[in-house]
C-alpha cells in the first residue's frame, strides 16, 4: 500500500513539475514575443523621429522637389510615430502571464500575417512612388511636388519593406519554440492533457 501511495505521490509531483515547466515555457515564450514587438516598435519610432527631425531642419532651406521630399517625410513619419507609439504601449501593458496556449498561438501567428500583409502594402507604396516620379516627368503643373513626394514614398516604402521582412523573420524564428511547447500538449478522451516522457 505504501509503495502504491509513494508511486502516486511521485507521479503527482512529476505531473505538477511538468505543468510548471509548461507554464514557464509559455511564459518565457510570451516574454520574448512581447520583447520583440517592443523592439520593433522602438525601431519604427526611432526611424520616424529621425526622419521628422531631419525633415524639419532641412525643409526651411530646401526648394522645389527637395522641399516636397522633406514635407512628405515629415507627414509620413508622423503617422509612423503614432503607429509605433500605439504598438509599443499596447505591448508594454500586456502581461505575458495572461496568455494561455491558444491566445499565444493566435497572437503569434496573427502578428506574422499582419506583418506579411504590410510588406505587400510596402511594395505598393514603392510602386506608387515610382509612378509619381515618372508622372513628374510628363506634367508641367506640380512636377516638383510629384517628384518630391514620389522620392519620399519610395524611400519610406523601401524602409518599411525591409523593416517588415526583418520583423517577420525574427518572429518566425520563434515558431519552432512554440511548436515544441505545443508538442507537450495532447488530446485525450477526457480533454487536453500534458504529454510526459520518462
The answer to whether residue 13 is domain-embedded is no
The answer to whether residue 101 is domain-embedded is yes
The answer to whether residue 1 is domain-embedded is no
Under 8 Å between Cβ of 126 and 157: yes
Other beta carbons less than 10 A from residue 64's beta carbon: 12
pTM exceeds cut of 0.75: yes
Per-residue DSSP letter, 100? -
Quick: pLDDT tens for 50-64.
999 999 999 999 999
Round to whole Å and give the CA distance between 36 and 166. 11
Under 8 Å between Cβ of 132 and 153: yes
The answer to whether residue 192 is domain-embedded is no
pLDDT band at 150 (very low <50, low <70, confident <90, very high): very high
The answer to whether residue 46 is domain-embedded is yes
pLDDT band at 184 (very low <50, low <70, confident <90, very high): confident
Round to whole Å and give the CA distance between 104 and 98. 9
Residue 92 makes CB contacts below 8 A (sequence gap 6+) with: 38
Rounded to an integer, the average pLDDT of 70-94 is 96
Quick: pLDDT tens for 101-123.
999 999 999 999 999 999 999 99
pLDDT band at 183 (very low <50, low <70, confident <90, very high): confident
What average pLDDT does the structure give for the chain?
86
Structural domain span for residue 82:
30-185
The answer to whether residue 24 is domain-embedded is no
Phi, psi of 77 (to 5 degrees): -80, -15
The answer to whether residue 167 is domain-embedded is yes
Q: Which helix (H) or strand (E) holds 53?
A: helix 2-59
Round to whole Å and give the CA distance between 170 and 168. 5
> So what's the pLDDT on residue 186?
54
- Please give the share of the chain, as a percent, with pLDDT higher than 70: 81
Quick: pLDDT tens for 116-144.
999 999 999 999 999 999 999 999 899 99
Number of separate domains in the chain: 1
Rounded to an integer, the average pLDDT of 11-23 is 43
The answer to whether residue 17 is domain-embedded is no
Amino acid at each position: 500500500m505504501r509503495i502504491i501511495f509513494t508511486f502516486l505521490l511521485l507521479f503527482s509531483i512529476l505531473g505538477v513539475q511538468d505543468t510548471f515547466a509548461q507554464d514557464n515555457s509559455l511564459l518565457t515564450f510570451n516574454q520574448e514575443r512581447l520583447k520583440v514587438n517592443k523592439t520593433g516598435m522602438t525601431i519604427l519610432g526611432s526611424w520616424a523621429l529621425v526622419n521628422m527631425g531631419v525633415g524639419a531642419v532641412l525643409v526651411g532651406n530646401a526648394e522645389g522637389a527637395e522641399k516636397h521630399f522633406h514635407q512628405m517625410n515629415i507627414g509620413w513619419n508622423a503617422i509612423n510615430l503614432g503607429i509605433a507609439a500605439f504598438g509599443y504601449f499596447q505591448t508594454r501593458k500586456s502581461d505575458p502571464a495572461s496568455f494561455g496556449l491558444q491566445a499565444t498561438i493566435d497572437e503569434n501567428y496573427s502578428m506574422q500575417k499582419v506583418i506579411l500583409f504590410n510588406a505587400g502594402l510596402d511594395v505598393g507604396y514603392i510602386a506608387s512612388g515610382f509612378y509619381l516620379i515618372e508622372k513628374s516627368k510628363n506634367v508641367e503643373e506640380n512636377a516638383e511636388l510629384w517628384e518630391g513626394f514620389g522620392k519620399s514614398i519610395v524611400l519610406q516604402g523601401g524602409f518599411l519593406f525591409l523593416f517588415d521582412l526583418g520583423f517577420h523573420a525574427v518572429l518566425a524564428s520563434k515558431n519552432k519554440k512554440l511548436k515544441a511547447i505545443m508538442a507537450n500538449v495532447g488530446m485525450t478522451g477526457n480533454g487536453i492533457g500534458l504529454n510526459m516522457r520518462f
